[in-house]
Chain A
Amino acid sequence: MKAARAGPSAPGSKQIPIAQDPNCLAGLSFVFTGELSSLSRDEAVELAKRYGGRVTGQPSSKTSYVVLGADAGPSKLKAIAKNNLKTLDEDGFLALIATRKEEEAIRQSAREMEAREKAASKAAAATAPGGAGGAGAAARTASENLLWTARYAPQSLKEICGNKGQVEKLQAWLGSWAANVRSEFKKPGKDGMNVFRAVMITGPPGIGKTTSAHLCAKLAGFTPVELNASDARSKKLVENSTNIMNTSLDGWMSGGQKTNAAGVTITDKSCLIMDEVDGMSAGDRGGVGALVALIKRTKIPIICIANDRGAQKLKPLVSATYNLTFRRPEVNMVRSRIMSILFKEGMKIPANVVDQLVQGAQADIRQVLNMLSTWRLANNTMDFDEGKNLVKMNEKYTVMTPFGVINKILGPGMFLPTTRETLGDKMEMYFHDPSFVPLFMQENYLKTQPSRIRNLDGPEKTLKHLELMDKAATSISDGDIVDSLIHGPNQYWSLMPLHAVCSTVRPASFLYGMGAGYGGPNAMSFPQWLGQNSKQSKLSRQLTDVQARMRLKVSGDKSEIRQSYIPSLFPHIVQPLMEQGASAVDETIEFMDEYFLTREDWDTIVELGVGDHNDAGVLKKISTATKTSFTRKYNSRDHPVAFHKAEALGKAPKKLAAAGPVPDLEEAFDVDDEVPEAEEDEKQETDDDPERDSLIKAPKKGKAAAGKGKAPAKAKKS
């Protein structure tokens, strides 16, 4: 093959013909050997592919043509002789491109597909039992109006692309269901599957999970009942709507058939398909739990379908079900299916373009079909380049993790003068996760070795570095102000791009350079802000409690308590325990009672310390014995409480209405306004004790209070 590497002897000497048919090589496979005189090997391969040919490395019996150049490899020549293959020289190859139209062969393969299609539809009609078959026929007549994805949904197991093993397992499980029920799920069976009452199918979207589940159920003689994300699936609804459990009698009353809330008849030959279980979200609280409970008792098979097996909320399901993981089918499995569909639709798209589409969509059959059905609206054909563009247009949008984003944007490549990314692209990085990326930026912007100061050294470098840091930090601070506008009361969402620049792009533009992931010393870390913030709100809440308790004694507000009182209380209620141990416990408790502090408040006070008073350090100095004695003694005593438990404001009027006999009395005397006054006055005497009375905690006495309120007014008037 040395000669091959020598390159063409007369590059460009022959004109490459314009093909009459862009797919003129469709259905042909080529092997190139030896050195062509005007084309390089790569050009020739590209050419063959462009016109729909397939290029393989070694000749075999399936090879249509071997293109021979100078110094062809001897082994290939041998194979040619053996398989009796047709050979071409360079001129012949170019002539083929120039003259060959779509050949007989492709028509033949298309005919095959048509036949197969017919057979498939026949098979589908045969397999779908009873009413479903009728429905299938009806659907077929109206199929022109259907989406392609529905129209070409597989009708038989044969038509499902890939995951053969999994589908077979599913089928076997459904087939042995009746036996499993009888054995009460005791016998594991061949795959250990038969002890499960439910199966969970997981896998990426568009690879036929739902379709497989439906088909298998139908084939095994079950009626699939599907509940998907469009149905509400909260705990209650799952329990009620899938009323499978014969828990209520009406099932028996209506002759063994009942209808659930979703309007689907459930028989013992039903199969419940819970589609998109990972979509059981906020509104469907408890849904997953109810589903698990259901699975434990079900008498009918349940198939759950999800995309992501690892999702947190599916944890309970994973252990309750048998897991079938569906993988993306191989490109060639999908190709044939797509080709036959294309033929039915009268579209002429060469196999290599189809391959490209399938690959671009990551074997998501549904997406390929959608792409093609859209394309069909305008064109009937598609060539290589168009296919490439279409794939690019439909490129799956992959979300990067914040770690990925931060590594990329702070990396050395993003802001070089030669970089290809536009400002828009950089801002796009922020939109991968607008709430996290700024936090990551703030956490990590100091961890690079900035490219901008690479050529400096000495003090100049330090100064420049500080200057860059300053600019970046200021920009981050700007970003936060923008953020508070976005999340403020007015919600200026249109400021998001500005936030992207301030919080992410601009700081990165100053400090980009070698960082983690590019050999820098500091690894990017998760933002501390989240943890610190929740710690702050927790402690702040506790401090509020402490302040509320101390309030009767102390006039300071919350920050005064923290800044002045807690440091002053420390020597009284914490230090003695540290220094004198258990002997100081009594004194400490007395002091705490003076300020209405509880044992929990003591913990808070310790926890609020910083520096020398850091809680870990302090607690280490208090012996365990002291601590237990402190807790025990505290709990064994009574303590003054300055507190009344919470009382819901909304309830007050209700209580009032039921306040007792007073209204009757007043009604009776209502003729004369002066009488109730005397009565209220009497009552008033007993209310005199300030401890029992209050201004606003008077829902029970609100009536009396108002009556009295009226009294002085009248007194004044009269």
Chain B
Amino acid sequence: MSFFQPQATKAAQKQSAIDPQHQPWVEKYRPKTIDDVSAQEHTVAVLRKTLTSSNLPHMLFYGPPGTGKTSTILALARQLFGPDNFRSRVLELNASDERGISIVREKIKNFARQTPRAQAVASDGKTYPCPPYKIIILDEADSMTQDAQAALRRIMELYARITRFCLVCNYVTRIIEPLASRCSKFRFKPLDPSATSARLAQIAAAENVPLSPGTAAALVATSHGDLRRAITYLQSAARLATSVAPPAPITPRDVQEIAGVVPDDVVVGFAGALGIEPLGTGGGDGMDVDVDAGGKATGFDGVRKKAKAIIREGYSASQIIAQLHDYVVAHPTLTARQKARCAMVFAEADKALCDGADEELWILEVGLRAHKAIASDS
């Protein structure tokens, strides 16, 4: 197979090169410079200085997914080295590459100990700072084993003169202390809605996708500050919308469906069966009668019926529980005690579902226990 494989892949590369419409927008609109990075002003300000001083510490980027950690370091590296030196000066490893201790010992160490080659002449005519060191980016470093992390310790010190490390991770607590102490830490905070919607609008404009404010709001809400997710959803929605004969506008409902979000009325309906009065009805005296009547109808059988209906609709149990959680916690009339009990139930259910437990049983379990918690003292 060896003699034709290179051709095949070459062909594939060429094809992808000419087919930018299939490129994920996440890649397409990745920031080119660190100034393009959305909403991480503090980090960007610090890093901008390194561009001029060419003195870069080891770095540890951490924060929730989709906040621009990888984009930032890639953009920074690009600005430092330029496209020509990029290949020889930057090593990027992410979680799907093999990253056991053997890789640390061989690949990373070998790359780390090479003295960087002289600066190639920038072909695009710009000048880059091109400082005399290389950068090793370890994406998703928190999924590296303890052993592999331990093996990194000495490498980071030994070759510090010619190599800088950038660890990127979601959970800083999973990086072993000795590694963390060798790095300067940068926290990436979740994007605030305005930054997300600004970036979305920018992309939508570039792609010629009509984006109504409602849709943008839905995207922001479903992505929870994860810009990558928001952009992916936008692309999927755009794809759906343009595939119909007269391109339809993207509705907020489309976005919810793509994100797998359960419609609010389903959540509210389920909550109603648990005896939680619906939001927005004012909670006045006049409404109490209705709620009580509803509460009485929903004993064990009521909850069970509702749970079965939800399963029939095919909604994901963990999604339902997450949304029910948001709903209950934000609910104005429930007491703190009731909320606390419900939260306990949600936590247990989430664990069970993570272990692969049966969805129907656990939706029912959540329903019954939340129902009991709410009925106990209101």
Contacts and interface: CB of A to CB of B under 8 A. Distances in A.
Interface of A: 652-653, 656, 663, 702-703, 706-707, 709-710, 713-714, 716-717
B8 A717 contact: no
A115 B7 CA distance: 91
B1 A656 contact: yes
Interface string B8-34: 100110110010000000000000000
A714 B4 CA distance: 15
B20 to A, nearest CB: 14
Nearest to B3: A663
B1 to A, nearest CB: 5
B11 A714 contact: yes
Given A706-B5, A714-B11, 7 more contacts: A663-B3, A706-B1, A707-B4, A709-B8, A709-B11, A713-B12, A716-B15
A717 B3 CA distance: 22
A663 B2 CA distance: 12
Nearest to B2: A653
A717 B10 CA distance: 12
Nearest to A699: B1
Given A716-B18, A717-B18, A653 B11 contact: no
Contacts of A710: 4, 7-8, 11
A656 B1 CA distance: 7
Contacts of B8: 706, 709-710
Contacts of A653: 1
A644 B8 CA distance: 28
22 contacts: A652-B1, A653-B1, A656-B1, A663-B3, A702-B1, A703-B4, A706-B1, A706-B4, A706-B5, A706-B7, A707-B4, A709-B8, A710-B7, A710-B8, A710-B11, A713-B11, A713-B12, A713-B14, A714-B11, A716-B15, A716-B18, A717-B18
Interface of B: 1, 3-5, 7-8, 11-12, 14-15, 18
A608 to B, nearest CB: 22
Interface SS of chain B: helix
Contacts of A703: 4
A713 B7 CA distance: 11
User: What are the 9 A-B residue pairs with the smallest beta carbon separation, nearest first?
Assistant: A713-B11, A706-B4, A653-B1, A710-B11, A713-B15, A706-B8, A710-B7, A709-B8, A656-B1
Contacts of A652: 1
Contacts of B1: 652-653, 656, 702, 706
Interface SS of chain A: helix
Contacts, number: 28
A622 B7 CA distance: 63
Contacts of B7: 706, 710
Nearest to A704: B4
Contacts of B15: 713, 716-717
Contacts of B4: 703, 706-707, 710
Contacts of A714: 11
A476 to B, nearest CB: 19
Nearest to B7: A710
A448 to B, nearest CB: 33
Contacts of A702: 1
Contacts of B12: 713
A652 B120 CA distance: 44
A570 B15 CA distance: 53
Nearest to A667: B3
Nearest to A707: B4
Nearest to B19: A716
A714 B12 CA distance: 10
Contacts of B3: 663
A709 B18 CA distance: 16
A656 B4 CA distance: 11
Nearest to A714: B11
B5 A717 contact: no
Contacts of A716: 15, 18
A713 B3 CA distance: 18
A656 B2 CA distance: 10
Nearest to B1: A653
Nearest to A673: B7
Nearest to B5: A706
Contacts of B14: 713, 717
A706 B11 CA distance: 10
Nearest to A706: B4
Contacts of A709: 8, 11
A707 B4 CA distance: 8
A682 to B, nearest CB: 18
A659 to B, nearest CB: 10
A133 to B, nearest CB: 56
Contacts of A713: 11-12, 14-15
Contacts of A663: 3
A177 B18 CA distance: 89
Centre residue among A652, A653, A663, A706 by max chain B CB count within 10 A: A706
A443 to B, nearest CB: 26
Contacts of A656: 1
A143 B309 CA distance: 87
Centre residue among B3, B4, B14, B15 by max chain A CB count within 10 A: B4
A74 B377 CA distance: 95
B184 to A, nearest CB: 33
Contacts of A707: 4
A703 B4 CA distance: 8
A702 B18 CA distance: 26
A512 B1 CA distance: 67
A713 B5 CA distance: 14
A696 to B, nearest CB: 13
Contacts of B18: 716-717
B259 to A, nearest CB: 27
Contacts of B5: 706
